[in-house]
Each structure stands twice: as C-alpha cells, then as structure tokens.
Chain A
Amino acid sequence: MADGDLSVRLRGLAKSYWRGPLEIPVLTGIDLDIVRGGYYALMGPSGSGKTTLLNLIAGIDRPSGGELEVCGFALNQLNDDQLAGWRSRYVGFIFQNYNLIPVLSAFENVELPLLLSDLGRAERRRRVLRALSLVNLTDRMDNYPRQLSGGQEQRVAIARAIVHDPELIVADEPTGALDASNAEEVMVLLEHLNQELGKTIVLVTHDPKAALHARTQIHLEKGVLDRTVEVHDRPRLTPILPAPA
C-alpha cells in the first residue's frame, strides 16, 4: 500500500511511563498502518494501552521510541506549538464525557476550533451551522451544555470535531456515558461521517457492539498488538447527511 493512502503509520512505537526510577512500559513495538478513510476500533482489556495509543496518534502525548507519522507529519519532529497547530488542522476529538465548555453555547462550542483559524466571522458561522446541521442540532445551537441531554451533548461534541474538516477523528469511548439508544445513535452518526465524508476514524471502545460499526478492530494485549480483525458484514448505510456546501 502506498504511503499516500495511509493516515497513520507506526513503526516500533513504544511508550513508557516513569514512576520514580521505575520504568513502566505501556506500549512496545507497535507497527500499524491505518488507511485514509478507514474506521478502526482499538480494543483490549483495561491497561492494554489502547488509550495511550490513541493519545499518541492524536498528538497529545509523546512516544518514548519508534516512528509516528500521522496525516503525513512525523509528529516526533514537531515542537509543542507546531503539534498544537497540527492538531487544530488535522484532528477532531470526541471525548467520553463530551468535554464541552460549560460557559459557551452549543454554537460557540462548535465554533471554538475555528477561532484558531483565520476565517472571518461569517464563514465561521456558515461552517458551524453546517456542522450542527450534520448532527441535526441546529435548533439547539443557543442552548448551553447544561440544557442538553447527554446524547445531544455528544452530538455537539461531534459537530465540534468535524467543523474544521479534519482528516482524522479520534474518539475515546464516545458512548461510554450514554444509554443504549443514544449510544447507537452516536455510533451510526460516526459511521455516516466515515462513509459519506470519508473521515478516518479511530475509536477506543470496550463495547463489542459499538466496535461492530468499525471496519477494522485492532486488539491490544499488555501493550503489544495482538491481532487485527476485519469486520466483513458491515452494512452500507443509506446517506443521511446533507451534501457538503
């Protein structure tokens, strides 16, 4: 596979934490290719290193060793400010607890990543409204997070993750705080983003049912890659998202 088709390329990736003089290895020798437009679920028991791997791919943690290339950038070679700039352009984040800013409305939360760009007010507004319409929350845009249900909050978070049109969306247990119905809704939404907008999605989940939405399941065990499973019977969804403007 040509490197240009890869969104993520990991070679010999390692991560250790230090507790005083004691080195605690979390990830060891990870070799992994994630293709552009793919949908991957990182799975494994607690302590297997899946969240650490996601953090490294998302550029919010630094590896202890190995090569880490994401969206065409060798993240090891970027300093902290360059890495922040890279994240603002290439990565959309979805957190388990939504992590919306409580003092900002749904609209303002979604607009937040765009404040880091040079876009004018009108263009920012156009993009925010489009992102909110993708998650079907335009009518709640003036509501604050405390005025929204958990499912709605996560949909606002998804709108925030896609508003700046990133190549990669990383999600850590995006359904972990939701009931079954809302969880299914969020997973279907992510699937639509993958199938219709071509976003590369990497999510961490414990839930085998949620993992079935991914095209590839990556299983980790004690910090090493255990196996990769392709999900073949994944149905093709009927498009529901509005066409890109």
Chain B
Amino acid sequence: MKFLTLILRSLFRSRRRTVLTVASLAVSVFLIAMLQSLLGTMDALTTSAGSGTRFVVQDKASFTNVIPLAYANFLRQQPEIEQYTAFQWFGGEYQDPKNFFANFAVDPETYLNVYREEANLPSIPVEQVRDFLRDGNGCIVGQTLADRFGWKLGDVVPLRSPIFNLTVRLNIRIIFKGKRNSDETFLAFNIKQLQEAVPWMKGRVGAFTVRARNPADIPKLCERIDRHFANSAQETLSITENAFNLNMMKMLGDYSTMFHSISAAVLVAILIVTANTMAMAIRERTTQISTMRALGFTSGRILSLLMAEGLLLSLLGSGLGILMALGAADVAAKQGGALLPWLADFIITPETLLLCVLLTLGLGLLSTFIPAYRASRRPIIDGLRAL
C-alpha cells in the first residue's frame, strides 16, 4: 500500500496518454462484451423452453422446400409422439418491408399445444383461445410485437408475402405474454388460408414440429421417420429443434466465426495499444528506474511496481468498457428490440463480464511484462548514464 501513491502518480504522469489508452481499452472491452453477448443472445435463440422435447421434420434438401401434409399420417402412428403441428414460413410484410418480424402459417389447434411453453398457454384467457380457433382469419401475436406496432385485440393486420404473392388480412385474437421477450416477437395464423389461396401449397406444408413424449426417444424417432421416407419423392430430414433454429440463424452467415474473429482482432489491438503505452511509459523513465534501483529497489520490486501500473491501466479500461457495455446493452434491449426482435433478450451475462475482465487483465500483464522485465534487469549504470 505504501507504494500506491508512486504507482498512481507514475500511471498518470502523462495524463493525456493514459486517458487515451484507457479510452482505447474501454472501447475494445466494450466491443468484445457486446460481440460476445450478441453471440450468446443469438445462440440462445436456438434453444427455448420446450425445445428439448421437440424436433422438426423437413425436406431433406432444404427447409425452404415444402413436404406433403400426408406425411402426418405416419407421424400420427408413432406412439412415442405426443403431438405434431405443421407450419410454413410466410415472410409477410406489414406496411413496409422494413417492418420485419417472423410470421408463420400454422395449424392453430396443434400449434398452441406443441408450443405451449413459449406461448405460455395456461395464461391465455379461454375466450381468446376460442376466438383464435374459430376465426379462420385469426392470428396470435406476442406482446412485444403488439407493443411495437400498437396492436390490440380485434385489430386487423394486413400482411403481404412476396414469397406467395399473397396478402392476408388477419384479426388479432390472442396477444400472449411469453417467458422471454424474443418469444413474443412473432405472429402465427391459420395455414388453411395459405393452402386455399396458393394452389401449390394445397396438401403441403413447410415442415412439422413434433413433440415427443420422452426426449430420449427423439434420436430413434428421427431415424425411423427419415428411414420411412427414404427413397420417396421427397425425402425428409428430422433434426432437433435447436439444430433447426441454428440452421435458420446460419442464414445470416457464419456469425459465430465472424464475431470470434472480430473479438480476436480487438484483443490484438488492445495488446498493441497497451504494450506501446507501457513500453513508452517505461522507456521514458529509464533514468528514474535506475535511480530507484541505485537507492535500493530490487529488480523484483521494480518489476512488481511496473506490472501493477499495467494492471491498473487494464483495470481502468476494463471497468470503463464494462460500464459502457452495460449501458449499451440496456439501450439495445429497450430500443433495439423494436427493430430486431431477438435484441429484446439482449443482456451481458456475468460470464461475459468475467471473460472481459480476465482477458484485459491477462493482456495488460502480458503487454507490460516484456518492457518492465527489461527495464528491471537493465544495468543500473546504463540507465543512469553517469554516476
């Protein structure tokens, strides 16, 4: 503690440089925290409350292809299957293509049961469920989505799909409150509308979501279903819902590698910035360090003092960056969630914060060690030049 004054004063001897370095570190930590949290949020989208008991049966070649509705007959015969539902990505636009949100054509009755956790089925008033099932133009929307556009029960929502060249006018019959904000960011309506209006959709669906009675049965069910439809006109691919969601996310590109690459680049930048600052700060003090050693400071003590400076510099940058990231995460979840639905769940986890702190401290120590070690071992008379 008695050296704290010396460490602090030395750290801020060039105030502008230190402040700029701390700011660079803070921005880097901010970027890493945001990127890693974004990655975590996107990965979390591939899992949901009931996903452990569900799997998806889709066309083997691509989930953008449709498969026969009649495949349901085989699913119905499997005793391990509790329920299944058919769905089709509609891709409808509301007023403007910029107002993107996920919307599906589904089988209303089975849909509510298969996704009962996400829709928080027990909390939906019975009359709303009844209206949704009775109204062929009815739809179900999440609370977050309804809030985004100011929708209320009974409102009419026109959706135009460029995929099917079709406009549907939907009556909002259920507004549900899900367990996660991102679960509330989609709309679903009766698939019969689509099958009746689009000739090539008659008797066809995009895929089935199947709910198994026991998660342990999923692998053998997938294998059995795919084997059954092997060598048919349209072979199937049965995969867990998480894997299916992951495939959907991968349409954005290999974001995981991209984010990790950017994080790595930022880390290298931190290393260079800190190493440069510490190298300059230490080189400028060659005489001072040699003087201290002449006065009796051992090489080890000099090394410790310089390392403490590097550590403190990293801690300051890391702390500031984390504060910035926490603030930005809050804004992203509140404001960004309206533009990108999945951002509604955006948070920075304690694990990400810990990762940022450990990475910055590690890099701070690493970048300080080499110049500090050299300075602490340099012959005293070289540093003093003359005594």
B287 within 8 A of A: yes
A172 within 8 A of B: yes
Residues of A within 8 A of B2 (CB): 115, 121
- Give the interface segment out of B95-103, B166-174, B294-302, B361-369: B294-302
Q: Is the CB of A88 within 8 A of B295?
A: yes
Q: Is the CB of A81 within 8 A of B299?
A: yes
Q: How many residues from A make CB contacts under 8 Å with B?
A: 32
A101 within 8 A of B: yes
Kindly state the separation between the CA atoms of A121 and B1 in the bound complex, as whole angstroms: 11
Q: Which of B10, B296, B387 contacts A88 (CB 8 A)?
A: B296
Q: Is the CB of A87 within 8 A of B294?
A: yes
Residues of B within 8 A of A113 (CB): 295-296
B198 within 8 A of A: no
Residue among B13, B297, B379 with the most chain A CB within 10 A?
B297
Q: Is the CB of B387 within 8 A of A93?
A: yes
A96 within 8 A of B: yes
Nearest neighbor of A52 in chain B, beta-carbon distance:
B381
- With both chains docked as a complex, state the minimum distance between the C-beta of B381 and any C-beta of chain A, in angstroms: 5
Nearest neighbor of B302 in chain A, beta-carbon distance:
A84
Nearest neighbor of A93 in chain B, beta-carbon distance:
B294
Kindly state the separation between the CA atoms of A58 and B381 in the bound complex, as whole angstroms: 11
- With both chains docked as a complex, state the minimum distance between the C-beta of B296 and any C-beta of chain A, in angstroms: 2
Q: Is the CB of A55 within 8 A of B387?
A: yes
Residues of B within 8 A of A88 (CB): 295-297
Q: Which B residues are within 8 Å of any A CB, using their own CB?
A: 2-3, 5-6, 9-10, 12-13, 287-288, 291-301, 379-381, 384, 386-387
Having A54-B387, A113-B296, one finds 4 other A-B pairs with CB under 8 Å, namely A85-B298, A88-B297, A95-B291, A112-B295
Q: What are 22 residue pairs bridging A and B, where the CB atoms are less than 8 Å apart in the complex?
A: A54-B387, A55-B387, A58-B387, A60-B380, A61-B381, A84-B293, A85-B298, A87-B294, A93-B291, A93-B295, A93-B387, A95-B291, A95-B387, A102-B13, A102-B288, A103-B12, A104-B9, A112-B6, A113-B295, A116-B296, A160-B295, A172-B386
